[in-house]
């Protein structure tokens, strides 16, 4: 592919006036080649890169259901124009609906399980807190019992010893009196037996009083101390029971804490299953993902299809693209967004304009030439007759100028100093004038400085 001139629209037609005439010598010699005189004029200049290829739809999609089943209803025909979201085909949904219902039930049960697990955890935490309170109260009760025991030991021991000593003294005096009375009677005489019983009773009372006193003196519990010690023992037993209950409640809290997490995971899985069931049911209704036309229907009502079975082929007929190959020498001139003009071989009267939308980064070899793939996107009017697969040529505009001074490219030369010059006609004479040039398509060259509109130049 070469850079070429696509279209030269000249505002004022370049006047090519042949002013020179053939000169013959008086002896009838050969004619000299005449100079061509051209008037400098303004016009439009366009530089393009050409390419050819085949037309394709710019957007298409082979639709599948994504779920297996039986075709229940086809709502469109080939060639039907459809809008995004429009229903095209429906599959039978009885099995899918049942699966969705089951998934909903499972999800609801999982939600209930989560709530129950959270309630059970809350109850277990309350029970643990209550068990902790019971332990604390048992510890307080034990402490109080121990304090009571200490106080009883301190307060009761001294007073009880005094009382016991006084009791011993009283009973001893009673015994002495009974013995004295008994000594006044002879054995067997009236009164002797009765006084003897009094002596025996007094001796028994004295023994009891002395035993009690001895016990106090030896540190043996008094009655009050014994009661307090029993209370301490009961408090210790209660504390042990409370601690065991706390430990048991704590162990029960471990699975209670794990239960919400396990239930939550089950709920997440159930939710995923529910969402999957919904997606599967949605897939049974095949809709148009974009505005377009149904190019092909692959199935009939009653057909059984797999998830990957093609159902319909959807295209966008109003927007197409031309795939073409660009020579490596031209690809550097291309930029996305450049405009392009397209001619279709089968439709010579159809004029299309598009935009360069793609330039491949990777080259490929075609017939020994390195080329790069490019795409031109363009809109198509209804009834144009354009079809995918048609051959077409395109000229991509890489540069253009409007209303600029133009001269024939062959009139522009280089002098011996390397300056760009043209020969300007001045009537019978001519002069070589240095000029500054702009773009050129190989046929016409833009003049930026050095010439004016209406001047005449020589083409040699």
Superfamily of the domain at 3-57+318-459: Efflux pump adaptor protein, beta barrel domain (2.40.30.170)
Residue with tokens 């149904």: 294
Tokens of 276: 């999957």
Question: Which pLDDT belongs to residue 17?
Answer: 33
CA-angle at 286, arms to 89 and 83, nearest 5° = 90
Question: Which pLDDT belongs to residue 9?
Answer: 33
* C-beta pairs of 219-225 under 8 Å, 24+ apart in sequence: 222/156, 222/157, 222/160, 224/152, 224/156, 224/160, 225/149, 225/152, 225/153, 225/156, 225/157
Query: Alpha-carbon distance 366 to 364, whole Å?
Result: 7
Task: Say how many C-beta atoms besides its own lie within 10 A of residue 113's C-beta.
Answer: 18
Q: Which residues, in sequence order, are CB contacts of 413 under 8 Å at separation 6+?
A: 420, 421, 422, 423
Q: For the chain, what is the total number of helices (H) and then of strands (E)?
A: 3, 23
3-state SS, residue 248:
helix
Mark the ranges of the chain whose per-residue pLDDT is less than 70.
1-34, 155-159, 216-222
Question: Which pLDDT belongs to residue 54?
Answer: 95
User: Fold identical between 3-57+318-459 and 62-91+286-312?
Assistant: no
52: burial class by Cβ within 10 Å (0-12, 13-18, 19+)?
Answer: middle
Sign of CA dihedral 94, 78, 323, 444: negative
* Eight-class DSSP state of 86: -
Do the bridges between strand 444-449 and strand 413-414 make them parallel or antiparallel, or are there none, so unpaired?
unpaired
Question: How do the domains of the chain map onto residue ranges?
Answer: 3-57+318-459, 62-91+286-312, 98-274
Q: Which of the listed CATH numbers 2.40.50.430, 2.160.10.10, 2.40.50.100, 3.20.20.10 matches domain 62-91+286-312?
A: 2.40.50.100
Q: Is the CB of residue 78 less than 8 Å from the CB of residue 414?
A: no
Spell out where 69-120 has E strands.
69-74, 81-82, 87-91
């Amino acid at each position: 592919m070469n850079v070429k001139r696509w279209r030269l629209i000249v505002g004022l037609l370049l006047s090519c006036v042949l002013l020179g005439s053939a000169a013959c010598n008086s002896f009838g010699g050969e004619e000299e080649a005449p100079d061509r005189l051209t008037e400098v004029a303004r016009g439009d200049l366009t530089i393009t890169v050409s390419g050819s290829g085949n037309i394709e739809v710019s957007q298409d999609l082979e639709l599948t259901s994504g779920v297996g089943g039986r075709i229940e209803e086809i709502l469109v025909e080939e060639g039907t124009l459809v809008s995004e979201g429009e229903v095209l085909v429906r599959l039978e949904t009885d099995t899918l609906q049942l699966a969705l219902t089951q998934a909903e039930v499972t999800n609801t049960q999982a939600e209930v399980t989560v709530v129950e697990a959270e309630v059970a955890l809350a109850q277990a935490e309350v029970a643990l807190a209550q068990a902790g309170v019971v332990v604390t109260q048992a510890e307080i009760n034990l402490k109080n019992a121990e304090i009571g025991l200490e106080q009883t030991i301190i307060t009761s021991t001294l007073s009880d010893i005094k009382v016991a000593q006084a009791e011993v003294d009283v009973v001893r005096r009673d015994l002495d009196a009974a013995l004295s009375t008994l000594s006044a009677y002879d054995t067997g005489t009236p009164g002797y037996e009765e006084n003897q019983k009094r002596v025996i009773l007094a001796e028994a009372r004295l023994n009891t009083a002395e035993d009690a006193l001895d016990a106090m003196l030896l540190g043996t519990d008094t009655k009050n101390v014994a009661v307090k010690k029993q209370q301490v023992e009961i408090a210790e037993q209660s504390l042990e029971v409370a601690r065991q209950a706390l430990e048991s409640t704590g162990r029960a809290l471990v699975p209670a804490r794990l239960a919400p997490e396990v239930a939550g995971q089950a709920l997440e899985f159930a939710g995923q299953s529910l969402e999957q069931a919904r997606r599967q049911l949605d897939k049974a209704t095949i809709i148009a993902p974009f505005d377009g036309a149904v190019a092909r229907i692959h199935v009939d009502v009653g057909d059984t299809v797999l998830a990957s079975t093609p159902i319909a082929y959807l295209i966008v007929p109003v927007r197409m693209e031309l795939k073409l190959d660009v020579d490596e020498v031209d690809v550097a001139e291309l930029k996305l967004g450049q405009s392009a003009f397209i001619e279709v071989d089968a439709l010579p009267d159809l004029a299309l304009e598009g935009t360069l939308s793609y330039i491949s980064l990777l080259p490929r070899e075609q017939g020994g030439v390195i080329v790069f793939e490019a795409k031109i996107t363009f809109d198509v009017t209804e009834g144009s007759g354009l079809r995918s697969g048609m051959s077409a040529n395109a000229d991509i505009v890489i540069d253009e100028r409007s209303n600029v001074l133009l001269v024939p490219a062959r009139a522009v030369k280089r002098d011996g100093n390397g300056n760009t010059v043209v020969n300007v006609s001045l009537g019978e004479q001519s002069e070589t004038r240095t000029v500054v040039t702009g773009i050129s398509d190989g046929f016409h060259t833009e003049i930026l400085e050095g010439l004016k509109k209406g001047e005449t130049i020589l083409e040699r």
